[in-house]
Structure 1
Amino acid sequence: MKSETIQLLTPQNWKAYQLIDSGGFEKLEKFGDFILRRPEPQAAWDKSLTDEEWQNRANAYFKKDKGSQEKGEWLVKKGMPDRWYMPYKTESLDLTFKLALSSFKHVGIFPEQANNWDFITEKIAKMPVKQPKVLNLFAYTGGASIAAKSAGADVTHVDSIKQVISWSRDNMEASKLDNIRWVVEDALKFVKREVKRGNIYQGIILDPPAYGRGPDGEKWVLEEQINELLKNVAEILDKENYFLILNMYSMGFSSLIVENLVKCSFSQKLNHEFGELYLQDEFRKKLPLGVFYRFASQ
């Protein structure tokens, strides 16, 4: 298996999104018609635009609560809606996402993941399987789920938060799709049960957080449980026609750690890729936004 070269991947087709500037532990982004200013712990360098330019251009600014790394409130200018829609269109995909200003600085989409949506679409199209079964774990608002569904897959979407499942359904309907299977459950519990049932999937997508809670209070700690989860996932991934995507946002995990984790659990040998996902701002500064590992049979 040749996977020694670490890849740096950024979306090529995300016309409605733009990272304008980054630095000073913040990022200035354009989502469709609106520009947002948000905290970004990875942006340790200087901004290229002045603070005045950031302030003038932003339609909304996220102010963190004192002592919190995530929670806070949005300060919005006149005309900034609580929610709006943004397209992702390529030759193969025509998706629409509902965006909203959450109290945890998120807006419902991770733009760097567009590269993986294209990968999913390509791999499903190449599979000699009529309707590949795809499992999306820690699925959040379902970007990967609706990409897989749009490509013709039978999709199971698993997340532990009911409100996020509702948001995902909105994205499915806005993209004129239907019949995704929604599961509100702890991801590790669900996978273990699928192993016992003998269910097999042709595609599996994992996007685990560093920390989390299941619907019944189950504790998720990435460093402690990711190895066990991957071993179980390996039991339900098809051995002949398959693809797997693993994303990680934990700042303590390098792409080499992710490579070792995957190689220890999976016997599949074809088309391995690993490295970092990033977004590039208008001044060519690269903002790292997680590591990935993916492979496929085609």
Structure 2
Amino acid sequence: MSKQKINFGAGVAAFGDSFTNSQGATAPAYGYINRLAASVGGGLANYAVSGQGTYIAARNGMGAPLRRRNVVAILAGLNDARRAGLAAKDKIVTNLRALIIINLLASNSLASSLPRVGAWKVLPSTLVSRSSAKGGSALYTADINAAMTYKFSGDAFVIGSITTHTLSSSSYQDWDFRVDGGPRQTFENYNLTNEAYSHNARIISGLGAGPHTVQILPKSAVPWSVIDYFGVPLAEPKAAGPILVGQIPYLKNWVYLGFTLTPAIVDELNQAIADMVAEFEGYPVALVRTNDFYNTLTGCSADGIHPNNTGYAQIYSAFMDKLEIWT
């Protein structure tokens, strides 16, 4: 993607971990995200949580107020990778995709508001995934005869769900959907994460203009088929501000606190992120190749993990490489 033009004063919404919270810098002003916000203008809404992974980034995105035409900056995945290595690949990709999609919605309808038949229930309040749902009220069913209907107008729609791993008490299942009475298609939702919960969303496009009806159908009675929300993506993609997705940074100390990482693992995870970002061709979503700019020899702090002021300046340059700011 060529540089995205943005008017000065658009503001920045940030999602990530301790890198986005400027850990290792001598002051927050030297962090990459504060530098980026200063260049873009319009303020910074920082939803990053230190020590957390892409699941928390996506969860925070579900609750963050959308500010059309602001810059969305995402730099997450290192904590997932250090805990699980390549086993974190599906989780990283699934959560980042869901976070991107939530920033491309023109409208959405919670599953709890839609017509349905059969036995549907609200996720129990004891489950962490309930608080992670967009409306805090995702629905589930184990009724093979259940169905849910969503009607919309346009060429594309969005399905949002939550996924679990196979060790959860109820592993959320794949389920089917069909458009305008057509053939059943599978929404893959089963075991896409190596931790308790992750977000999952897809844009289904190429349907043609006009009204459409989507029907959700369980594939089996195995617990549970979980639906969070439906929506319609922006008809004019440029109505959204640039969404900049950073790749996982390299480290200087690859064995810090028992990390299981290597440069090869990070490279493979970053290729998966690049492949996912490529799905959004035509939308203002850009891949930030962090390690093309970030040099751990000069830019890493004493802990061997977090950038110093120089490193944050390098990461800032990586993000700015995707922007052209109009004043």
TM-score by length of structure 2 reads 0.33
Higher percent of residues as strand: 1
TM-score by length of structure 1 reads 0.35
Highest Rg: 1 or 2?
Answer: 2
Higher RCO (C-alpha under 8 Å, 6+ residues apart): 2
